[in-house]
Structure 1
Amino acid sequence: MLAKLFGPKEIIDENTKNWIWDTFAWAIENFDINVLKNDARLILPSNDFYPGKVSSIDEMAQAMFINTKKYAGMQNWPIDITSSSPTSTTAIEDLRLGNVIRGENAEININLSNAPLMLGFNPNQVNQPQDLIAGISQALASILVISNKVLPPGGKEYLPQAIDLVACFMGFGVIFANTAYQFKGGCGSCNNASLNRQAALTEPETVYALALFCVLKKEPIKQVKGHLKSHLKKDFVNAYKSIEQSIGATTQPALLALAS
């Protein structure tokens, strides 16, 4: 009782927490645990992860896309990005997945075509780089999840939420938390709502998924806090400490394999 009384405040309800844990375990089982263990990093909105100077909007978007694909472990996937209306007829259903689907050894082919699957982007999104990165990683997570033959916990109804969670599982949780909700107040030039991504997980749910990733990857709190919006920091610390306290009691083998 005392542990609960003085423990960290829970930022989401028990059912949501259980779904996030179960879905994270599902992602580990389906999307290459070795990539998560050995390659996945906490991706931060900084020049360390998105460096370099470019001479055009398209160059900047391409640079962000190439880095984001690599961080997602999908560098071998035949996917490209364009500011024009995508003309490729290649669909997600045309992708053929090998035994390894993420990382440098991934085997992904296209049925009857060499044309990559094309993603479109709004050039104005470059002015809101976190939103552009979040949109790209959300699209990549969507392709990964839809290509998978095993539905997430909750089935088809929970695919949008599972896609957001998989983006956090890939390491984009900080950027996803920062773009989960955009304030509508303030000056009109501060934010263009039409360029924001459509979030399926709420802010607290996204922060909790980020915290779970950080605990499993042993990312220290101080590494994360400075990159989060100010109003998210307290919730992140509470979620992190709560997960730290309960991770040893999980019955999910996939989560235990990482936590040990």
Structure 2
Amino acid sequence: MSLGEILVAVTAVAVGTTLQRVSGMGVGLVVAPVLSLLIGPVAGVWLTNATTTVSAFVIWRAMRTGSDWRRLRTLLPCAVIGAVPAALVVRELPLAWLEITVGSILVLGLLGTVLASAADRLPPVRGPFAAGVAGAVGGFFNTTAGVAGPSLVMYSRLSRWPHPSFAASMQPTFLTMGVLSVVLKLGVGAAPVSDLPQWWVVALLAGTVVAVVPLAGRLAARVPAETARRLALTVAWAGAIATLLRGASRLL
């Protein structure tokens, strides 16, 4: 990665971490499309998964309480069901089609996030089946495109999951899904070590997360969650469309 690319990546991670601390999600939405454009969908999404793992761990320690473990006992194991086939998809797809897949998943996820606002008018969804489906879809989306959040937002709206509990619960969720994605893609050869950024780049982005979280914690008390969510969606839409178009251009 060039110096300019590293600066863009650090900025994306700082913004995404701040948004995640304020609204409960944001790292994957902001970082995945940016890194996919900078270094390609395989290395970009893998680095997003690694960054999400660190950010979720650090933010979870800062938030300390509020996670709904009753839901997570169903949701998290089902993430494995989605993550395993996703790692194989990443390994087998040609680069152009992988970029199209990543861009399409980002667009679909963002559409789901937008449509989630209408979910409040639908009958509430209860029970472990819905949590299991959300976990499996989130695991698949996270491993292929680095964005588990939109499917989980949709589930939270449909199930009437209170936002404070949802935001706290997303940190162990993103931590688990991030570790799954990183390990599985290395294990099946979907993300060869030789194609990944140098170790110090990974360490730099992890250090950015650690440095930004205390500041983001202070902003969380002042910035409305809806404002942070809108900013994250704006950045994510731009990156998702650019990734999709670049994949299509490779085919042409």
TM-score range, shorter chain: under 0.3
Which structure has more RCO (C-alpha within 8 Å, separation ≥ 6)? 2
* Bigger-Rg structure (1/2): 1
More helix by share: 2
TM-score (norm 2): 0.26
Question: As a proportion of its length, which structure holds more strand?
Answer: 1
